[in-house]
Amino acid sequence: MSLGSPYNIGSWGGWQDVVGDDTSTGFSFATPVFGNKFTIQLLSGGGILSGVIQNSIVSITGHTGATTRALQLDLKQKVKSDSQDQFMINVTQSPNEFYISEWIMYPADLTQRLGPNQWVLGPPEWKSEGDFRIVYGAYPNSHGKQCWEVTWDTNANGTVPLRKFYTEVNCNIPVPQGQWFRVETYTRRGYGSDGRSWLKINGQLAFDHTGTTIGENAAPINRLFISGAYANYPVQMHIDDFEIWDKVPY
């Protein structure tokens, strides 16, 4: 696999596609998943794109100890609050349920970066077409310990008033730094007890919540962020061995 050249570049940023085949599975990155291709959204925040975001496929020691070719997302500058570098799918066939597994590596100096009021995303996030979102991230608590957090809300870039439905913090499962860790997440869309979403970190269940996962407009999912370099500081992320299923495969 490799990265194509950035395209549709404007003052806000541009796009960059993952191209070619996965060497271990033979999967083509041009194959549509949930109706569309894999791509990277480059949000520069108004800065010169090449100076704000620089992505690459790098040879690095993987989670098995063997050399692997991983996606490196590098947000070099935080020009504005929305500056980010997201590996994603612009969904056109909204799934009723989906499961994602991937290996992620945060920077080794995450603790130093995550001071008061700091945050970093990384696990999958999804948004509907303007009325619902589920997002996971890592934040320090009031004692400086890094914790996982989940939020279900209406912050999906629409006109629906901002409303938070559910949030929870887990400080018992470590936030790894400078090392690979496995992230798994599952979502089922539905009302009441039919809706569910959970997150596992290295096989440990961090969150598992049942409730309505459909917004007030019943809008379809239109963005699925597999992982991304998105924090309120410049950050580099590595992603490897990701899988997407239309159900939990075990």
Residue 144 has pLDDT above 80, yes or no: no
Among residues 169, 170, 172, 196, the alpha carbon closest in space to that of 185 is found at 196
Which position has the higher pLDDT, 139 or 188? Answer: 188
pLDDT tens figures, 89-123: 999 999 999 999 999 999 998 878 766 778 899 99
Quickly tell me which residue has 């159900």 as its tokens. Answer: 247
**DSSP per-residue codes, the chain:** -EEPPPEEEETTEEEEEEESB-TTT--BTTS-BTTB-EEEEEE-TTS-HHHHB--EEEEEE-TTSSEEEEEEEEE----STT-EEEEEE--SS--SEEEEEEEEE--TTHHHH--TT--B--S-EEEESSS-EEEEEEEE-TTS-EEEEEEEES-SSSSSPP-EEEEEEE-SS----SSEEEEEEEEE--SGGG-EEEEEETTEEEEEEES--S-TT-PPEEEEEEEEE-BSS-EEEEEEEEEEESS---
Residue 110 backbone phi and psi in degrees, to 5: -60, -40
Which range, of 12-16, 17-21, 32-36, averages the lowest pLDDT?
17-21
What is the reported pLDDT for 146? 87
Reported pTM: 0.94
Q: What share of the chain is helix, strand, coil (3-state, %, to 5)?
A: 5, 50, 45
pLDDT tens figures, 52-82: 999 999 999 999 999 999 999 999 999 998 8
What is the residue-averaged pLDDT of the chain? Answer: 94
What is the reported pLDDT for 29? 87
Q: What 8-state DSSP symbol labels residue 51?
A: H
β partners of residue 180: 105
- Walk me through the domains of the chain, giving residue ranges and CATH numbers: 2-245 (2.60.120.200)
Length of the chain: 250
Residue 143 has pLDDT above 80, yes or no: no
